[in-house]
Structure 1
């Protein structure tokens, strides 16, 4: 999961001419804790980022202007900048007089200089030619050829491919974009044309990274979409202009509104940062910087920029440099590796062997009878599956003609009755050839949630359940959905969200936990929450036979009695241990298991657990104790796989609860016995681990012993481990 950390101001930005609004820097380059800032006028400043102090500042004379960003030559420690389009100026950090530094006037205008460690800097001219810096310094007035004509360079970047630099730049001419790739040793130039989409939307910003000899180019368009273009570096000798196709990577939508980004920065292969503005319904345009996970297509973090921005963003290391008002901000961030486990925190921990795949008898289904199902998507239960089936083939063309579009359904949601909306949604979901299925679901759910907020009597629960069961909805797509379900105390909908959404914030998870614990068992009896309820009901009214002499996972009643710290609690005369009975009803147990299996991060979850009341904490701890006892029995629990919980999940939640409410629990008299029993569980586990450590040490010692082999002798050897 990606998140913003602390932020601070690096420096103030200069205003525009005549005291106008602040202008963004020409460029910023950072290396470790040092940042080189080039403004659009006359100054180049070197900063130490952690101290927010300038280490040096150099300015050109009056009448001169910096036209290309300054760069740092790593090997020599020199800096180089271009002024007035053609004049190269090179200096070192300890040069006090900027007027007396080395200068070289070139014969053609420079677009930008690119530098990489252990390579000679490359100079990109506005005509598209690329030259090495040492070649230019040897003959500054050499003739520079023009590769492009009537094209304007919009973006450029340099990469290192097999110890050789590769420079890429994008040009624009009459709405068409072209990509040029320069290779060295040997010198090769490739030209591509980028696929042109809707002419009304233009590319605003580009970013790229190199992996496995393929450059992945990301392009941010004015319609709030990010497209992906793959550029292979190994090309055939064909001189024909190739067209590179683009594919939609992510649509920057927040609660139904399009985030119109203007700057993109690549954080890693799975995360990007976007600076842009969000149009709210009341025409209040607000600017944000946000982090998006492009693998799971979710918004990970967002921060508003209330003082405005010049729409510029740079990323170096774990720092984002963003213009904000009249200042240049440094925002620290963190991005975990983009696997499903890292993106959503604590996962359900289900082993591959435990996964349960529901099979379908495809011979009983016609080809066109199934609605759209995403790859690796589970098939719904039998009664739910019937509602998702398309109309029979006998309806034929009539069903096709009556299919709804997203726009028609959104108009229906605005003012139609609840029953009519539910019928239209079922009809809409029956369309198997629906384009942009996930985007359509997002618009529909957002429209339903918005109407629920504005019209308290409107709440299409069954309709929302069907949309969630398509498994095309996530929390990030519509954050208001679970908030409305909590307000309506719709525990069935909340349970489905907890089971299917991988990106639920910890605050919402704790809100669901509080709601489940507050509800009485009588209120939940009428709800069908899953087959696990049957198991929990049997366990609630029956006692499982136990064999005290058998030690499972380090647990034994004899050990508990032997190690007990309170003799009153270990009397063998008691008939039934309270921990053997489930302290909650079967339906509530089902809901609590959904909480235990939900994804979370301990850092973010712990503060919200403190909102639980003392009674709720005790009840939840007793239920966790009950689950712990079941997991330690000789016979394993028979929960269905989608509801089962592991011993690690139980212990993690138990520790989190005690950390959040330790003082309160210690002061409660009714918690004394519970804490004592939990303490005995821990001592039993410690004893087991201690004995295992002894065995491990003995076995290692035996491995070190070297015995001489004599096959002619027969002997019996007795080993005493402890």
Structure 2
């Protein structure tokens, strides 16, 4: 199986005054644009050699990362916040390039294959050509007053260009993200980052478009690395910040490396002998596991910038820019998207499609889905549970279970149900909720409020469906669900047996098995398991002992999962189990089972030598035998 690989760094260049502004893609995918305060350079990512370089005077520094404008085939940058310059590859001296003086300071330039956008510090966004033709024009801002712009990004979603602005309110210091379409008069959706630490602020971030949503990974000043998923179609007002891990560094920088991986530079505490060493690390975004790390050289600076292009990570620390080659295992895109190649090439037909009617039909379908979603969320049109169930049925009929983007219609619907159930205590459309959750894979982190309501109502049927069908269920929800199921089992505190017996009835055992098979992070789960009391721990350990001891249950829950849960429970409640008299007998029986299993596998290993000798001798025998043309033989081994 392929592993994540991170090679030693190659120093590309030095930058003046430690002021690296950023990196952008050049006209070629194998070239990158590097910008510092006094220079713009393009570098080859194959041999790391400088292709072109342009400089400006020190008293007129660059204040934005230079970009390549595909429409004009020119480079664009900003000097002293308001001086916009544009030049070609043939230009030798930027001092001679006449700037266009703007009336408003520029925050950043955003370029893609279609056009280049100019983002002003007040939040206004305009096309580059319009800015060049009308440099003094007044442009409406997309941000409210008393908000400071902290970041910007753009990407294509279908035929529409989406713009994301990250900002912080000057008064309440709350961080917000604004998502809107290019050219739209509507300022778009404003969402507030919800973080448990209200005094925390974002230090660095990275955005990645994924289907009908944008994934935002943020590092906060308290060390939390959080993942937020923002659907383009959402009625929520908040963005949940799901903690992935905690880092010890004041100079960390982060970037996505694709959907499944992200890189963080400047991490400390990863070397026990020298905890102050800093590392460049690659993490798996699904399971939050460390995939690769590389020690970084010491530096006095607390600032760093990181980006990736193709198979190269560019990292600036201090006055050095270093390139690191990396490789990650390929995701199974064919299996995920159902793009199976037809092996019969002779039957392949080339079709020239007219995309306009197809785009119109797609927009029509989206409009129908949005209309049905609004009807389901309208209290007047869905007054009763039956009316709500009918609206949900109509909505589900228009969605496709095989397409991930369609789940974005169901997440706001579940959140709406959670809020409505809080206001209307009697409203609980159980069967409709089961149908919604079973329809497709919904991210649990995007509907945390709904899961909390399900737990509060103690609806085990809906909860079991959520645990079985939802992805990335938080560990605290798993443990709270476990508590709910265990407390429905009467007499669990005194239910310890001296024989191998299932302490649960069949229905409860099925619910517990669903819990055991939930994907989770061991570190976070161990912390959450501490909320179980000793009685709940004992009856759960007894059930795990039953699963470990009986053959017929090994297909239901794998032995590896059972062992993992036993270890987590013992680690999280070690002291309580040691001093508990009720736990003594159970732990001794558990020890006996483990010892028996270890002895059994040792005996199996001893058979390896015997089988190897027998197979070798049989090959020699059958080679000289008249029956050597037979496909197989049957041998009987008698063990004493």
| Smaller-chain TM-score bracket | 0.5 to 0.7
Q: Which residue of 2 aligns with 1:5?
A: 6
The reply on whether 1:300 has 2:291 as its aligned counterpart is: yes
- Structure 1 residue runs of 5 or longer lacking an equivalent are 17-22, 237-241, 343-366, 378-384, 399-431, 446-461, 471-494, 503-525, 534-584, 593-615, 630-671, 689-722
Q: Which residue of 2 aligns with 1:286?
A: 277
User: Could you tell me how far apart the structure 1 residues matched to 2:7 and 2:630 are?
Assistant: 40
In 1, are the aligned partners of 2:204 and 2:253 still within 8 Å (CA)?
A: yes
User: Could you tell me how far apart the structure 1 residues matched to 2:43 and 2:623 are?
Assistant: 55
User: Could you tell me how far apart the structure 2 residues matched to 1:264 and 1:188 are?
Assistant: 31
2:159 aligned to which of 148, 159, 163: 163
Q: List per-residue Cα deviations over 1:290-316 (Å, max 9, x = no partner).
A: 111121222211222132473321112
Q: Which residue of 2 aligns with 1:314?
A: 307
Report SS of the residue matched to 1:189.
coil
Q: List per-residue Cα deviations over 1:568-622 (Å, max 9, x = no partner).
A: xxxxxxxxxxxxxxxxx843145x5xxxxxxxxxxxxxxxxxxxxxxx9xx8565
* TM-score for the superposition, normalised by structure 2: 0.54
Report SS of the residue matched to 2:176.
strand
1:109 aligned to which of 94, 105, 109: 105
Q: List per-residue Cα deviations over 1:69-115 (Å, max 9, x = no partner).
A: 10012343311100010111111112112223352111110000100
In 2, are the aligned partners of 1:319 and 1:332 still within 8 Å (CA)?
A: yes
Q: 1:325 offset after TM fit, Å? A: 5.5
In 2, are the aligned partners of 1:468 and 1:497 still within 8 Å (CA)?
A: no
Q: 1:244 offset after TM fit, Å? A: 1.9
User: Could you tell me how far apart the structure 2 residues matched to 1:106 and 1:134 are?
Assistant: 13
| Structure-2 change in CA distance of 1:532 and 1:95 (3 Å) | same
In 1, are the aligned partners of 2:261 and 2:284 still within 8 Å (CA)?
A: yes
Q: Which residue of 2 aligns with 1:121?
A: 116
2:88 aligned to which of 66, 88, 92: 92
| Structure-2 change in CA distance of 1:293 and 1:43 (3 Å) | same
The reply on whether 1:80 has 2:76 as its aligned counterpart is: yes
Q: List per-residue Cα deviations over 1:203-262 (Å, max 9, x = no partner).
A: 2222222233222222222333333333332468xxxxx622314151247xxxx67773
Q: Which residue of 1 aligns with 2:32?
A: 35
In 2, are the aligned partners of 1:4 and 1:331 still within 8 Å (CA)?
A: no
User: Could you tell me how far apart the structure 2 residues matched to 1:81 and 1:467 are?
Assistant: 67
User: Could you tell me how far apart the structure 2 residues matched to 1:187 and 1:625 are?
Assistant: 80
* TM-score for the superposition, normalised by structure 1: 0.49
| Structure-2 change in CA distance of 1:184 and 1:441 (3 Å) | closer
1:111-510 equivalence runs, <5 A? 111-117=107-113, 119-146=114-141, 147-174=143-170, 175-184=173-182, 186-197=184-195, 198-234=197-233, 243-252=237-246, 262-279=252-269, 284-308=275-299, 310-324=303-317, 326-337=319-330, 375=467, 438-439=522-523, 442=526
Q: List per-residue Cα deviations over 1:302-360 (Å, max 9, x = no partner).
A: 222132473321112221112255432211222224579x9xxxxxxxxxxxxxxxxxx
User: Could you tell me how far apart the structure 1 residues matched to 2:332 and 2:305 are?
Assistant: 29
User: Could you tell me how far apart the structure 1 residues matched to 2:628 and 2:239 are?
Assistant: 62
Report SS of the residue matched to 1:195.
strand
In 1, are the aligned partners of 2:13 and 2:322 still within 8 Å (CA)?
A: no
In 2, are the aligned partners of 1:203 and 1:221 still within 8 Å (CA)?
A: yes
| Structure-2 change in CA distance of 1:159 and 1:49 (3 Å) | same
In 2, are the aligned partners of 1:67 and 1:83 still within 8 Å (CA)?
A: yes
In 1, are the aligned partners of 2:228 and 2:242 still within 8 Å (CA)?
A: no
User: Could you tell me how far apart the structure 2 residues matched to 1:268 and 1:121 are?
Assistant: 23
Q: Which residue of 2 aligns with 1:587?
A: 601
1:641-652 equivalence runs, <5 A? none
The reply on whether 1:66 has 2:62 as its aligned counterpart is: yes
User: Could you tell me how far apart the structure 1 residues matched to 2:134 and 2:306 are?
Assistant: 36
Q: 1:528 offset after TM fit, Å? A: 4.5
Aligned residues: 414
In 2, are the aligned partners of 1:68 and 1:113 still within 8 Å (CA)?
A: yes
In 1, are the aligned partners of 2:6 and 2:292 still within 8 Å (CA)?
A: no
